[in-house]
Structure 1
Amino acid sequence: MYQIVLSVHVIAIISWMAGILYLLRLLVYHRMETEKVVKDRFELMEYRLYRYITNPAMIVALIFGIWMLVLNSFLLSQPWMHVKLTAAVLLIGVTHYAKAMMKKFKRGEMPKTEKYFRVLNEIPTLLMIIIVIMVIVRPF
């Protein structure tokens, strides 16, 4: 049972990461754009990506991640797991922040700069690196 739960969790994480990385890249391009027709296209792409891939994948990853912790509660006593969970919470925050930026674009606001969005785009990658190292290496 645990292996199935773990497999679904990993699949959901891959989908979530693909979604958030692409969504943040779309926000970079959206911020650079000046033509209304193209901006409208970005809004639609961002909405569909968030609604149908990124957010559902995040929810499935969380449900199955919690399920794994219920099945193996001893993991909560491991320091590396606390670091991993902290990084996961930050990744959730980045995902919700991306949604907030989408809403600002939809309202016609131009939040932040292109450079800001380029830097923001790297944060999920850094969090993913931390998570993978914690889970595979278990340094402490």
Structure 2
Amino acid sequence: MMDWLATFYPWSKSLHVIAIITWMAGLFYLPRLFVYHVEQVTPGSATDEMFQTMERRLLKAIMNPSLIAAWVFGLMLVFTPGIIDWSAVWPYAKGISVILMTWFHMWLAARRKDFVAGTNALPGRRYRMMNEFPTILMLIIVFAVIVKF
């Protein structure tokens, strides 16, 4: 029944990696845009509108489709017979990290709405600190998948 997943495995793995690369690029860049938005832009100005446009397009055109693709192709990998050793720790470490990465994505989407509403209360320093969160999760995921602890 799941034989087609085994046949499609190299493609699903390749597409998963591509989706992760684009998703991670957005997860690294959007908080950086927020830093500059908070520290350099006057609310209601033309620059404010430009930043909101950049942030919206990054989230809607790159990050959201990449998130969906990463999950779809990742789940295809999960259900491919013989790929995951469920007795090991690594699939659970990766799974928890992916859920946290998805939470971070949603947190960023909520912060973008704050900028749109003019209610952002977070300073640039907070966005700088939060920008490290996906890096930590990426390290956990990469080591879990490659080292397979």
Pairwise same-fold verdict (TM > 0.5) = yes
Matching of residue 23 in structure 1 with residue 33 in structure 2: no
| Runs of 5+ unmatched residues, structure 2 | 1-7
Q: Is the 8 A contact 2:77 2:83 kept in 1?
A: no
TM-score after normalising by structure 1: 0.94
Aligned residue pairs, count: 139
The secondary structure found in structure 1 opposite 2:84 is helix
Give the deviation of 1:73 after TM superposition: 6.3
Greater alpha carbon shift after TM alignment, 71-80 vs 10-19: 71-80
Which residue number corresponds to residue 4 of structure 2? none
Which residue number corresponds to residue 89 of structure 1? 99
Which residue number corresponds to residue 5 of structure 2? none
Q: Is the 8 A contact 1:105 1:111 kept in 2?
A: no
Cα distance between partner residues in 2 of 1:31 and 1:126:
24
Which residue number corresponds to residue 125 of structure 1? 135
Seq. identity, %? 37
Runs of 4 or more above 3 Å deviation: none
TM-score after normalising by structure 2: 0.89
Matching of residue 107 in structure 1 with residue 144 in structure 2: no
Structure 2 matches for 1:63-78, cutoff 5 A? 63-72=72-81, 75=84, 77=86, 78=88
Greater alpha carbon shift after TM alignment, 76-85 vs 62-71: 76-85
For 1:57, the aligned partner's letter is S
Greater alpha carbon shift after TM alignment, 100-109 vs 31-40: 31-40
CA RMSD, 1 decimal: 1.3
Cα distance between partner residues in 1 of 2:82 and 2:113:
38
Bigger radius of gyration among the two: 2
Deviations 1:11-33 (A, max 9, x none): 00000000111111111111112
In terms of fraction of residues, the more helix-rich structure is 1
